[in-house]
Amino acid sequence: MIGLKGTLNIIDNSGALVAECVNVLKQKVNNGWGSVGDEIVVVVQRARPVSAAAAASVTAVKVRRGDVRRAVIVRTRKAVRRPDGRLIRFDDNAAVLLNNKREMLGTRIAGVVSADLRMKGWGKIASLAPKVI
């Protein structure tokens, strides 16, 4: 469960490393708490540094510290119960940044994601991930 001021690791190659949640979108069930597959608004807290060589390249860094972006939660520390009764939890909270068209900002995902993403309509993210649990 991710709420206001919750921090998340960004696991795509958009240039952001850590982001802070400032709003959970379209969530009426849990009163402002986001779970896997929910869309949130984040502020980038830490990003990869921009070097002189990377500044010349267009595709190197897409976001900077302080940018406000939308993201989708891909894993949480809070345990989630599956329909078969299993509890799934991860070691950290993680998200993937989105653009204005609700498409992934990065082109790759570095890390494990939850299988619940497919059920919530984020099959593209699940297909790009190296492992889905």
What is the per-residue pLDDT for 30?
67
- Asked whether residue 92 is assigned to any structural domain, the reply reads yes
Task: Give me the domain span that covers residue 35.
Answer: 7-132
- Asked whether residue 30 is assigned to any structural domain, the reply reads yes
What is the total count of domains within the chain?
A: 1
Q: How many helices (H) and strands (E) does the chain have?
A: 3, 9
What is the per-residue pLDDT for 13?
94
* CATH number (domain holding residue 61): 2.40.150.20
What is the per-residue pLDDT for 26?
73
10-residue stretch averages of pLDDT, the chain, 133 residues long: 94 96 80 90 94 55 90 96 94 96 94 94 95 95
What is the per-residue pLDDT for 106?
93
What is the per-residue pLDDT for 61?
58
What is the per-residue pLDDT for 31?
75
- Asked whether residue 1 is assigned to any structural domain, the reply reads no
- Asked whether residue 37 is assigned to any structural domain, the reply reads yes
- Asked whether residue 2 is assigned to any structural domain, the reply reads no
